[in-house]
Amino acid sequence: MPAKRRKLTLDDYTQGVLAADIGILSRAITLVESQHPVHQALAQELLTRLLPHPGNSIRVGITGVPGAGKSTLIESLGCLLCDRGHRLAVLAVDPSSSVSGGSILGDKTRMENLVRHPHAFIRPSPSGGSLGGVARKSRETILLCEAAGFSIILVETVGVGQNEITVRSMVDFFLLIMLAGAGDELQGMKKGVIEIADLLAVNKADGDNLQRANLACAEYRRVLGLLQPATPGWKTRCTTCSALQPETLAALWQTIEKFVTTTRDSGAFATRREHQAITWMHAMIEEELHHRFFRNPRIQQLLPDLEQQVAKHHLPAATAARQLLLAAATP
C-alpha cells in the first residue's frame, strides 16, 4: 500500500508538515478544511503543536476588481520571489467559488510557471460555506504553510463584498491592484477598500497604457493624501506596475520589504498579529453564538413575522428583539 494512502496520525501530520512534505501539507490543509468533528478536533491538535513554529513569514493580501490582472501579477511576482530562493505559498479566499466553480486560482493553468516551481505551493479557495467558514480555513492554512517553512504567503481575494475586510484581518500587508480608467473601476469596489490598503498598484502600466497609468497613479496619490493610512507609521503609497516588466515587480516587492522592516522595528507588525489572533477568537465566538440563536427552531418560527412587523414600523425593534431573546431562553 503506498504510504500516502494510509491514515495519518497526529505525529505523521506534525512531522510531515515540519519536514515540508507537500503531500502531507496538502492533506493537513484538507483536514483543516473538513467539516467533520473528528477531523476538526485533530486539526486543532495539529495546529496547537505547530503554532510555535511559524517564524519570520510575511503575509500579503492581494485584491482588485476582476480583470485587474491579479493572477498574472501573482504569477510573475511569485516566480521572481521563488527564483530568489524564497518559499512561497499562494492561497485564495473566495466564498463564491463553491457557487461559481472557482473564479480565482480554480484554474491552476493560469499560473503555469509558478505552479511548476519547486519553491511554490498553490492552494485554491476552500469550497463551501460562508465567508466566515472560508476565512477560518484560510487562516489555519496560513499557519500550516508557515509551519512548513513557506516564508511568504500571498492571499488572493476578489474585489467583491466583504472579502477584503476579512483578508485584511489575516495579513500583514494589503495590496490593492488597480487599473487606469480609475473612476469607473473604483465605483465597482466595496467601500473603504482603499483605506485598508498599504499599497495601491496601478497594473498593466505598459505600452500605450503607461501614460494613463501614471495619471491614475497621481490621482490616487492625491486621494491617499486625504485618507487615513491603514497601518500606523506607514504612509499608504501608490505605484505603477506591469507583469511584463519584472523590474516594476521587484520595486513593488521592495516596498513590501520596506513596510515589513518599518513595522517590525516599530512593533506595529507584532501588535497587529496579536490583535488579529484575539479578534479572530472573538469573531468565532460571536459567530457561534449567532448560529446557536438563529438555528433555534422557535426563533426560526418567530423571526420572519417579527422582522416584517419591525420593517413595517408596527413594532419597535427593541420589543421584537426582547420577544426573540425571551423565546430563546424559554426551555
Contact 177, 206 (CB under 8 A): no
C-alpha to C-alpha distances, 157 to 2, 63, 96, nearest whole angstrom: 36, 5, 10
CB of 140 vs a copy of itself, minimal distance in Å: 7
Q: Taking the mean position of all CA atoms in its chain, how far away is CA 61?
A: 6
CB of 6 vs a copy of itself, minimal distance in Å: 26
CB of 286 vs a copy of itself, minimal distance in Å: 7
List the alpha helices (DSSP H) in 110-240. Answer: 112-116, 131-147, 163-168, 182-187, 210-226
CB of 127 vs a copy of itself, minimal distance in Å: 19
CB of 224 vs a copy of itself, minimal distance in Å: 10
Residue 204 gets the label, from left (phi > 0), alpha (psi -120 to 50) or beta, of: left
CB of 199 vs a copy of itself, minimal distance in Å: 17
CB of 69 vs a copy of itself, minimal distance in Å: 20
Tell me which residues touch a copy of itself (CB under 8 A).
Answer: 44, 47-48, 51-52, 54, 136, 139-140, 143, 182-183, 186-187, 189-192, 194-196, 219-220, 222-223, 225-228, 273-275, 277-278, 280-282, 284-286, 288-290, 293, 306-307, 310-322, 324-325
Q: For a copy of itself, which is the closer residue by CB, 78 or 159?
A: 159
Task: List the grid coordinates of 252.
Answer: 513593488
Task: List the grid coordinates of 175.
Answer: 495590496
CB of 102 vs a copy of itself, minimal distance in Å: 25
Contact 234, 258 (CB under 8 A): no
Task: Please calculate the CA angle 122-123-126 and round it to the nearest 5 degrees.
Answer: 165
Q: For a copy of itself, which is the closer residue by CB, 243 or 320?
A: 320
Paired with 234 in beta bridges are 231
Q: For a copy of itself, which is the closer residue by CB, 72 or 309?
A: 309
C-alpha to C-alpha distances, 305 to 42, 159, 301, 302, nearest whole angstrom: 42, 35, 8, 6
Q: For a copy of itself, which is the closer residue by CB, 6 or 191?
A: 191
Q: For a copy of itself, which is the closer residue by CB, 79 or 93?
A: 93
CB of 321 vs a copy of itself, minimal distance in Å: 4
Contact 194, 223 (CB under 8 A): yes
Q: For a copy of itself, which is the closer residue by CB, 251 or 303?
A: 303
Q: For a copy of itself, which is the closer residue by CB, 17 or 194?
A: 194
Q: Taking the mean position of all CA atoms in its chain, how far away is CA 194?
A: 16
Query: Strand (E) positions, the chain?
Result: 58-64, 88-93, 120-123, 152-157, 173-179, 199-203, 237-240
C-alpha to C-alpha distances, 311 to 75, 241, 321, 326, nearest whole angstrom: 48, 48, 13, 20
Q: For a copy of itself, which is the closer residue by CB, 80 or 155?
A: 155
Count helices and strands in the chain by DSSP H and E runs:
14, 7
Q: For a copy of itself, which is the closer residue by CB, 227 or 244?
A: 227
